[in-house]
């Protein structure tokens, strides 16, 4: 996800900003610019557009996985 010269913290901050973006901007869907703005304003982090896009994609995948696990649990209860 990160640039070769980037700190591992950049990836963590990018993913955190993407997670916030998905929760706070469901419609219209968050994009890389929203992630960049959140990273800058909340964490004083300067990310690249590529980092923001990759983090947003990963956050979406994680949200889908979490939703699927939740559905699996509720399907088994009924």
| pTM of structure | 0.79
Give 7's pLDDT tier (boundaries 50, 70, 90): confident
> 62 and 13 in contact (C-beta within 8 Å)?
no
Q: What is the mean pLDDT of the chain?
A: 88
The residue ranges of every structural domain in the chain are 8-77
Average pLDDT over residues 19-45: 94
Q: Which residue has the tokens 């964490």?
A: 43
E strand or H helix at 21: helix 8-24
Average pLDDT over residues 18-26: 94
Three-state DSSP state, 70: helix
Give 22's pLDDT tier (boundaries 50, 70, 90): very high
């Amino acid at each position: 996800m990160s640039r070769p010269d980037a700190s591992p913290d950049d990836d963590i901050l990018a993913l955190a900003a993407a997670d916030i973006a998905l929760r706070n901007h469901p419609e219209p869907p968050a994009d890389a610019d929203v992630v960049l703005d959140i990273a800058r304003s909340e964490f004083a982090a300067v990310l690249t557009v590529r980092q923001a896009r990759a983090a947003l994609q990963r956050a979406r995948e994680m949200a889908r996985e979490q939703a699927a696990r939740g559905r699996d649990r509720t399907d088994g209860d009924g």
